Amino acid sequence: MPRYIHILGAIGLVVGIAMLPQVDPALGLSGQVLWVLIMPGLVYAAFIVFGGPRLAWERRHPPQIVGAQTPREIGLEVFEDIKRRYPTRDCPEFCV
Protein backbone atom coordinates (compact mmCIF):
# COMPACT_ATOMS: atom_id res chain seq x y z
CA MET A 1 0.00 0.00 0.00
CA PRO A 2 1.16 3.56 -0.56
CA ARG A 3 2.85 5.34 2.29
CA TYR A 4 0.21 8.09 2.43
CA ILE A 5 -2.48 5.57 3.38
CA HIS A 6 -0.44 4.53 6.42
CA ILE A 7 0.01 8.20 7.34
CA LEU A 8 -3.75 8.75 7.08
CA GLY A 9 -4.29 5.60 9.17
CA ALA A 10 -1.94 6.97 11.85
CA ILE A 11 -3.83 10.28 11.84
CA GLY A 12 -7.05 8.28 12.23
CA LEU A 13 -5.50 6.45 15.20
CA VAL A 14 -4.58 9.77 16.82
CA VAL A 15 -8.15 11.01 16.28
CA GLY A 16 -9.48 7.79 17.81
CA ILE A 17 -7.24 8.23 20.85
CA ALA A 18 -8.33 11.87 21.14
CA MET A 19 -11.96 10.71 21.15
CA LEU A 20 -11.29 8.17 23.93
CA PRO A 21 -12.42 10.48 26.78
CA GLN A 22 -15.83 10.72 25.07
CA VAL A 23 -16.29 6.93 25.08
CA ASP A 24 -18.58 5.43 27.72
CA PRO A 25 -16.44 3.75 30.43
CA ALA A 26 -19.09 1.03 30.72
CA LEU A 27 -17.79 -0.45 27.46
CA GLY A 28 -14.76 -1.82 29.22
CA LEU A 29 -11.23 -1.99 27.90
CA SER A 30 -12.05 -4.09 24.82
CA GLY A 31 -14.85 -1.73 23.81
CA GLN A 32 -12.59 1.29 24.20
CA VAL A 33 -9.82 -0.33 22.12
CA LEU A 34 -12.37 -1.16 19.45
CA TRP A 35 -13.59 2.45 19.48
CA VAL A 36 -10.00 3.72 19.01
CA LEU A 37 -9.43 1.36 16.06
CA ILE A 38 -12.60 2.42 14.21
CA MET A 39 -11.01 5.52 12.65
CA PRO A 40 -7.96 3.82 11.07
CA GLY A 41 -10.23 0.97 10.03
CA LEU A 42 -12.44 3.42 8.14
CA VAL A 43 -9.39 4.86 6.37
CA TYR A 44 -8.20 1.46 5.18
CA ALA A 45 -11.72 0.31 4.28
CA ALA A 46 -12.32 3.42 2.16
CA PHE A 47 -8.99 2.86 0.39
CA ILE A 48 -9.87 -0.73 -0.44
CA VAL A 49 -13.50 -0.07 -1.41
CA PHE A 50 -12.80 2.88 -3.68
CA GLY A 51 -10.16 1.14 -5.78
CA GLY A 52 -6.97 2.37 -4.18
CA PRO A 53 -5.02 -0.90 -4.47
CA ARG A 54 -5.61 -1.08 -8.21
CA LEU A 55 -4.50 2.50 -8.68
CA ALA A 56 -1.41 1.95 -6.53
CA TRP A 57 -0.53 -1.19 -8.50
CA GLU A 58 -0.95 0.55 -11.85
CA ARG A 59 1.24 3.46 -10.78
CA ARG A 60 4.01 1.15 -9.67
CA HIS A 61 3.62 -1.29 -12.60
CA PRO A 62 2.35 0.58 -15.68
CA PRO A 63 0.81 -1.61 -18.38
CA GLN A 64 3.24 -2.62 -21.12
CA ILE A 65 1.00 -2.40 -24.17
CA VAL A 66 2.69 -2.13 -27.53
CA GLY A 67 1.56 0.99 -29.35
CA ALA A 68 -0.31 2.33 -26.33
CA GLN A 69 -1.27 5.96 -26.51
CA THR A 70 -0.76 8.52 -23.81
CA PRO A 71 -3.85 10.18 -22.31
CA ARG A 72 -2.85 13.40 -24.09
CA GLU A 73 -2.83 11.67 -27.49
CA ILE A 74 -6.22 10.12 -26.79
CA GLY A 75 -7.57 13.51 -25.72
CA LEU A 76 -6.32 15.11 -28.92
CA GLU A 77 -8.04 12.43 -30.99
CA VAL A 78 -11.32 13.05 -29.18
CA PHE A 79 -10.91 16.81 -29.67
CA GLU A 80 -10.29 16.38 -33.41
CA ASP A 81 -13.33 14.10 -33.67
CA ILE A 82 -15.53 16.74 -32.03
CA LYS A 83 -14.19 19.39 -34.38
CA ARG A 84 -15.05 17.15 -37.36
CA ARG A 85 -18.58 16.55 -36.08
CA TYR A 86 -19.33 20.20 -35.40
CA PRO A 87 -17.46 22.18 -38.08
CA THR A 88 -19.74 25.24 -37.95
CA ARG A 89 -21.06 27.54 -35.28
CA ASP A 90 -23.00 24.59 -33.81
CA CYS A 91 -19.71 23.50 -32.26
CA PRO A 92 -19.75 23.51 -28.45
CA GLU A 93 -17.79 26.27 -26.79
CA PHE A 94 -14.77 24.05 -26.00
CA CYS A 95 -14.20 23.43 -29.74
CA VAL A 96 -13.36 27.04 -30.50
Considering the domain architecture, whether residues 75 and 40 belong to the same structural domain is answered as: no
pLDDT of res. 61? 72
The structural domain count of the chain equals 2
Considering the domain architecture, whether residues 36 and 5 belong to the same structural domain is answered as: yes
Considering the domain architecture, whether residues 55 and 72 belong to the same structural domain is answered as: no
Considering the domain architecture, whether residues 7 and 41 belong to the same structural domain is answered as: yes
Asked if 54 contacts 1 with a C-beta cutoff of 8 angstroms, the reply is no
Kindly state the greatest CA–CA separation across the chain: 73
* pTM for this model (two decimals): 0.51
pLDDT of res. 52? 76
Asked if 73 contacts 61 with a C-beta cutoff of 8 angstroms, the reply is no
From first to last of its 96 residues, the chain has per-residue pLDDT tens of 678 888 988 998 998 889 888 888 888 888 888 888 888 888 888 888 887 777 777 777 766 655 556 656 667 777 677 667 766 655 555 554
Report the alpha-carbon distance of residue 41 to residue 8 in Å, rounded: 11
Considering the domain architecture, whether residues 37 and 49 belong to the same structural domain is answered as: yes
Considering the domain architecture, whether residues 6 and 44 belong to the same structural domain is answered as: yes
pLDDT of res. 51? 73
